[in-house]
Structure 1
Amino acid sequence: MVTFDEYVAARSLALTRFAYVLTGDAHLAEDLVQSALLKAFRHWGKVARADSPDAYVRRIVVNTHLSWRRRLRLPEWPVAAPPDTPTGGLLDDPADLVGERDVLHRALTDLPPRQRTVLVLRHYAGYDDADIARTLGCTEAAVRGYASKGAARVRAALSISYQEAPDARA
């Protein structure tokens, strides 16, 4: 049986990356992982005996994230002008890749918590619908619905972003 200290040393970076994809904020991701690890520590005997302690802790991260999102509504911060966006062509400049990631990040950030969580678990963590349903405590049909609606919203946000972007190569 792996000790809690060994687990944290081995998996904290991966958990923080996972939390970052869920939250979209590095500092909030670190706080989320700390809170989740505190919960895991309190029940470490049960967590360590689980078939997959990593899956167990990820579920704690997801549940903690969703409970935070319910309690805490993050404010929107208006800006004078929208940021520059990439044109969507071939990426000759590394800055374009950063812009591409930023557009995707903003699209994911605007999703409701469950839709975002389903997309992250599916595309980042590689969970199938059954695993996601178990993690979120809902049906597989609900997972497919969240995924469909979330993906549609991301596609719409991406297409709007690229339609508004000026073509710098023209």
Structure 2
Amino acid sequence: MTGYGSSRAAGAPPSRPAPAGASQHQLSITFEAFHGTHARKWVTYAYLHTGGEAAAREVTRSAFRQLRLLWPHALRQASVEAFAWSVLKEHVVDWLYDHQQPTALTETAAFAVVTQALLRECQQQFALLESQLGLYAAISRLPERQCDVIVLRHVIGYSDGQIAALLGVDEVTVRSHASRGKRKLAAALGIDQGTTRGN
């Protein structure tokens, strides 16, 4: 999968002080809250890359199992969301490697949601495409961060603020990745960049 490498926690920002007096019960509550917020969206992300519902659930369960074990450590990180995201990304990459499979972005049915979102923003230009496959392939060839921003925004439904937390960047950087990604898509598909709208 182009641009996709392991996102291990070793590259995470410096740790914060450990939560004072956090009991096992409190840790469990915070983990369950995080799980409830992100589980469905993580399954969607894993599905886009593995191409199968069973595989997506397997990857997501495995990632959450590891995250639960690491939860006290996760809470000491500068960004819990970014640390957790690195765990999920690592499990997706490992699954693809173990199954000797490239990302399934261009084949998964859910990826049509990206196309529809981009069509709404660039209707006249993208509507001229005879096939959506060119757009699928072009998105999957974007640099990793740009591809993630497009997918997290348009398929999974995270806000720019949530994406910023997951990727460990600010919202301006998220919007920059989105804008650059769309410009690269326009160039790859031979679309007049001056007529595309929005970030």
- The two structures have a TM-score, normalised by structure 1, of 0.51
SS of the equivalent of 2:181 reads helix
Aligned match of 2:65:
38
1:20 aligned to 2:44? no
Aligned match of 2:177:
146
Residues 143-170 of structure 1 show CA distances to partners (whole Å, capped at 9, x for unaligned) of 111111111112222337xxxxxxxxxx
Structure 2 distance, partners of 1:35, 1:117, is 21
Name the count of aligned residue pairs: 130
Structure 1 gaps of 5+ residues are 48-55, 76-86, 91-95, 161-170
Asked if 1 retains the 8 angstrom alpha-carbon contact of 2:149 and 2:177, the reply is yes
SS of the equivalent of 1:111 reads coil
Structure 1 distance, partners of 2:180, 2:63, is 28
Structure 1 distance, partners of 2:156, 2:87, is 15
Structure 1 distance, partners of 2:51, 2:141, is 17
Q: How does 1:147-166 map to 2 (within 5 A)?
A: 147-159=178-190
- The two structures have a TM-score, normalised by structure 2, of 0.45
Aligned match of 2:151:
120
Quick one: structure 1 residues 26 and 35, their matched pair in 2 at CA, closer, same or farther if it must change by over 3 Å? same
SS of the equivalent of 2:142 reads coil
Quick one: structure 1 residues 109 and 39, their matched pair in 2 at CA, closer, same or farther if it must change by over 3 Å? same
Aligned match of 1:84:
none
Aligned match of 1:80:
none
1:108 aligned to 2:139? yes
Residues 31-56 of structure 1 show CA distances to partners (whole Å, capped at 9, x for unaligned) of 64244233234257999xxxxxxxx6
Residue range with higher mean Cα deviation, 121-130 or 38-47: 38-47
Aligned match of 1:131:
162
The Cα RMSD (Å) is: 4.6
Residues 45-103 of structure 1 show CA distances to partners (whole Å, capped at 9, x for unaligned) of 999xxxxxxxx6x973565327976xx8x88xxxxxxxxxxx9559xxxxx7xx41x32
CA drift of 1:114 comes to 0.8
SS of the equivalent of 1:134 reads helix
Structure 2 distance, partners of 1:156, 1:31, is 37
Quick one: structure 1 residues 14 and 123, their matched pair in 2 at CA, closer, same or farther if it must change by over 3 Å? closer
SS of the equivalent of 2:64 reads helix
Q: Which has the higher contact order (CA 8 A, sep 6+)?
A: 2
CA drift of 1:12 comes to 6.7
Structure 2 gaps of 5+ residues are 1-28, 75-80, 103-125, 192-199
Structure 2 distance, partners of 1:158, 1:29, is 30
Aligned match of 2:110:
none
Asked if 1 retains the 8 angstrom alpha-carbon contact of 2:44 and 2:156, the reply is no
